[in-house]
Structure 1
Amino acid sequence: MSENPVIYKPFEWERLRIASQFNAQLMDHLRPYVKPGITTDEINQIVHDYTVSHGNTPATLGYMGYPKSCCISINEVVCHGIPDDTVLKEGDIVNVDITSIVNGWYGDQSETFLMGQVSDEARKLVQVTFDSLFLAINSLQPGSSVLQIGQVISDYARDDNFGVVRQYQGHGIGREFHTDPGIPHYPVSSSERDLLLPGMCFTIEPMLNAGSWKTVEDQSDGWTVRTKDNKLSAQFEHTILMTEDGPEILTLTKEGPQAGHKF
């Protein structure tokens, strides 16, 4: 097992749900604004204002020096894109990653949005990434190994020759932003001993690339991660609570894509 897997007591589950449900509500609030013509900084401001006006805290703002209230990653940016004056344009694919702190508890999720008419390759990449997340979630039961998540996602991505990012992974979450266990999205033998027991809360957040799995970090800002071959990348993320009955998706939105959605 991981060094310090956190197992929450049943009375704490509702606090996890409340934080995650607010985060999902925030994603639905953003949905109408994420379209061609808006800047990523304008989206960031909407995230910040909505979160603070509800008495909550954007988790990324100031986290390890990160300067904004969300991450927005466009096209070849894999993750940790910093909002700025970049304007979204027709044909882009755009990942918006938001994390909220609600009364000391964290909720975390991301979605990749299609800006109008996108290329067939972009649409396929987004679809496979989305489907891989739900295939992984639906494969789990109490006591499942973390290894299973990486196996399911990797096997599914391989069918379309998409690369699964290895440098970044899902994580335990709850009272802290990142806890054990780490959740790799490709098979890592050591994760076989990490078992997902009732009361454990974690994210699954596959990042799939249209080409190689390899990535490079922008040295100028220390955050922005791009595909090494400059090909497209997509990501989806949910916060999951393992219960005695199986995985419960805490960050499901009311207006966003549900399992089985076709882009």
Structure 2
Amino acid sequence: MSIIPKTREEIELMRESALIVSKTLGMLASEVKPGVTTMHLDKLAEEFIRDHGAVPGFLGLYDFPNTLCMSPNEQVVHGIPNHTPLEEGDIISIDCGALKNEFYGDHAYTFAVGEIAPEVSELLRITKESLYVGIAELKIGKRVGDVGYAIQKFTEDAGYGVVRELVGHGLGRKMHEDPEMPNYGRRGKGKKFIEGMVVAIEPMTNLGTHRIKQLSDGWTILTADKKPSAHFEHDVAIIDGKPEILSTFKYIYQALGIESDEEDAFRQELLAV
């Protein structure tokens, strides 16, 4: 397989798809609370996506049964929504996809359910920061290994386990395109980045071991030591040789009353380089 570059027009269509996912996560942000079931959140998301002129990107993909991947606590990714209520102190990774104008958006955020333990809050902070550390390496002249190395070094230096078996990926008319984007690697190794490529970068970081296992449902991935795991994801294009984030967390922050300039600050840092 080879990387499929996108035209500027196609990237703008992908931005539309990414923003539908971003707005869906923003809508869900105020709904994530103790007592709510992941199945209820899943139904809200499907309705929201369809109301915005798109179709759920995950529903039926590889026979996945739902709109959202909902992965609480020790679940890393690909958790299936169910009727178990969320509890105070949980965390929940919500991974969402949408298909509009023949292009996919794919975007994830890990939410706190009420008040969470300080060490878990720190896990979320470091994992989200590692996402931007990785995105900063997505430039012409760099390679896949540069992104993976940056994420791995940042998170392992903080004492966390970086999942090896699950990776980010190219994005476009298919949910999963070339290249695979691991969250570990060696500088200067892997496929070279090209103008117009679009990828989903998604660090998955564990409070304990990097090792994982899969449940018998064939989907749910959880940490081998059952310690919490965090997951954050952005869709990113290379435009004029530098990364441009197509998705956004701003709708989540607006819903939660969080003041954050992280995305603007990141763009300013890129311009300064």
Paired residues for 1:30-41 under 5 Å: 30-41=28-39
SS in structure 2 opposite 1:196? coil
SS in structure 2 opposite 1:192? coil
Query: Which residue of 201, 204, 226 corresponds with 1:204?
Result: 201
SS in structure 2 opposite 1:240? strand
Normalised TM-score (structure 2): 0.90
1:194 corresponds to 2:154: no
User: Once the 2 structures are TM-superposed, how far is the Cα of residue 37 of structure 1 from its aligned partner?
Assistant: 1.5
Separation in structure 2 between the aligned mates of residue 67 and residue 37 of structure 1, nearest angstrom: 23
SS in structure 1 opposite 2:250? coil
Q: Deviations over 1:96-126 (max 9, x none)?
A: 0000001211001000001121111111111
User: Once the 2 structures are TM-superposed, how far is the Cα of residue 259 of structure 1 from its aligned partner?
Assistant: 6.0
Paired residues for 1:101-112 under 5 Å: 101-112=99-110
Separation in structure 1 between the aligned mates of residue 53 and residue 32 of structure 2, nearest angstrom: 23
Query: Which residue of 236, 248, 252 corresponds with 1:252?
Result: 248
Separation in structure 1 between the aligned mates of residue 110 and residue 75 of structure 2, nearest angstrom: 12
SS in structure 2 opposite 1:144? coil
1:213 corresponds to 2:204: no
Find the counterpart in structure 1 of residue 96 from structure 2.
98
Paired residues for 1:81-160 under 5 Å: 81-160=79-158
Could you tell me which runs of 5 or more consecutive residues in structure 1 were left unpaired when the two chains were aligned.
none
SS in structure 2 opposite 1:195? coil
Deviates more, 1:191-200 or 1:158-167: 191-200
Find the counterpart in structure 1 of residue 5 from structure 2.
7
Separation in structure 2 between the aligned mates of residue 251 and residue 94 of structure 1, nearest angstrom: 19
Q: Structure 1 residues 259, 235: closer, same or farther in 2, change over 3 A?
A: farther
Find the counterpart in structure 2 of residue 236 from structure 1.
232
Separation in structure 2 between the aligned mates of residue 13 and residue 159 of structure 1, nearest angstrom: 34
Could you tell me which runs of 5 or more consecutive residues in structure 2 were left unpaired when the two chains were aligned.
254-259, 264-273
Normalised TM-score (structure 1): 0.93
Letter in 2 for 1:121: E
CA RMSD of aligned residues (A): 1.6
Find the counterpart in structure 2 of residue 17 from structure 1.
15
CA contact (8 A) 2:201 2:234 kept: yes
The percentage of aligned residue pairs carrying the same residue is 35
